[in-house]
Amino acid sequence: MKYDYQQLKEESVYEGFLKIKRHWVQHASFHGGQCEPILRERLEDLSAVSVLLYDPDRDQVVLVEQFRVGLMGQVDPPWALETVSGFCDRAHEVPEEVARREVHEETGCELLTLTQIGSFFVSPGISDEQIHLFCGRVDAGAAGGVHGLAEEGEEMRVLVMPREEAASELFGRLCSTSIVIAMQWLQANRESLLDHWG
């Protein structure tokens, strides 16, 4: 099968904090030929950076806790423990630079080393969002307080947790994509990461 598709038409549906476009698409069929045209809405122009902060000397992770609108009516209370994260302008920003900026803005920590974990798409059925995931070395002894940019409606509390305690909270208090993937990666790759960091 040739993986061909054709965008027949697109239109902007909404532009606010998020952008939504409507796409009319026809694509190749596994049975041969083409499927019937389909209509889909998609969240557009989303790229983000996410950083799991880790102190190997203390064997602790540094997380941020903040209110999340997507958790309203799903989790009580709707606050999440997460990695440091922020949007990345695909056309004008390098993910590593965004990672360094967001770590400072959201935690006040100094990023000592930054290691790329990988990139992934969050929900390709409805969005083009791609997350660039990193693990960053910090001194957890200097972590704490409430941070974020007020003009962006941010308020996040910094929490320090032993690595094993954080791992035991996966799919519980730690339940969003980036933190689940990053913590599982850290658990599986800790020894090689420590060798890499020296």
Give catalytic status of residue 129 as yes or no.
Answer: no
Cα of 109 vs its chain's centroid, Å: 19
Give the strand pairing for 38-44 and 47-55: unpaired
- Over the Cα atoms of the chain, what is R_g? 19
Q: Could you give the CA distance from residue 85 to residue 154 in angstroms, rounded to a whole number?
A: 12
Report the run of H or E that residue 188 belongs to, with start and end.
helix 177-197
**Cα–Cα distance measured from residue 51 to residue 103, given in angstroms and rounded to the nearest whole number:** 8
Query: Residue 18 pairs with which residues in a beta bridge?
Result: none
Q: Which of 173, 163, 159, 170 is nearest to 63 (CA)?
A: 159
8 Å CB contact between 48 and 87: yes
Q: Which of 152, 154, 169, 191 is catalytic?
A: 152
Please give the positions annotated as active site. Answer: 152
